[in-house]
Amino acid sequence: MQKSIRVLGVDPGLANTGWGVIEYSNSKFTLVSYGVITTSNSEEHSVRLLKIYNCLSKIIDEFKPDEAGMETLYFARNVTSAMSVAEARGVATLCFAQHCIKLGEYTPNQIKQSVTGTAAADKELVEYYVKLLLGVKSEIKPDHASDALAGAITHVNSIAIKL
């Protein structure tokens, strides 16, 4: 009998943090839920980060993931944007640590390779394979949620030998 695992994927961002929960059992992925945590630039910066933390905590409490997967920070041309993503990643990492959830972190190329079979995949191909692997016919929107699900799938693929 094969072990099942529930994984929460996160696509961190200050304005939009995508999240997606999947289950993996008997060599099959199943979509549990997904969404996006949105904050407004009219809110204080610290309040936005706190909102991300609180929402992730509620998602963890509701869906009880065993582990998590998240994309590593890549260097963007816009330093301000990269800093905001880094802060959102820090909040998510803290949230996982406080809930004793093991976190796997993956580069964009690792995620593309894991989900599609090629590190050269574009965003549309990754989204297509996320839907295919999860058996979902409708679009997974917003894109941040699809990216989060790709992170969760990558995490399962990285630990599948242990299952």
Dump pLDDT digits (tens) for 109-135.
999 999 999 999 999 999 999 999 999
**What pLDDT does 1 receive?**
41
Strands 16-25 and 5-11: antiparallel
Helix axes 123-134, 108-116, angle to 10 degrees: 50
Residues of the chain with pLDDT under 50: 1
* Residue tagged active-site, from 71, 87, 127, 147: 71
Please, what's the b/e burial string for 126-159 (b: 16 or more CB within 10 A of its CB; e: otherwise)? Answer: bbebbbebbeeeeebeebbbbbbbbbbbbbbbeb
- pLDDT for the residue 83: 86
User: From the candidates 23, 87, 127, 144, which is the catalytic residue?
Assistant: 144
For residue 77, give the DSSP letter.
Answer: S
Q: What pTM was computed for the model?
A: 0.94
Catalytic residue (one of 11, 23, 87, 147): 11
Q: Look up 23 and say whether it is catalytic.
A: no
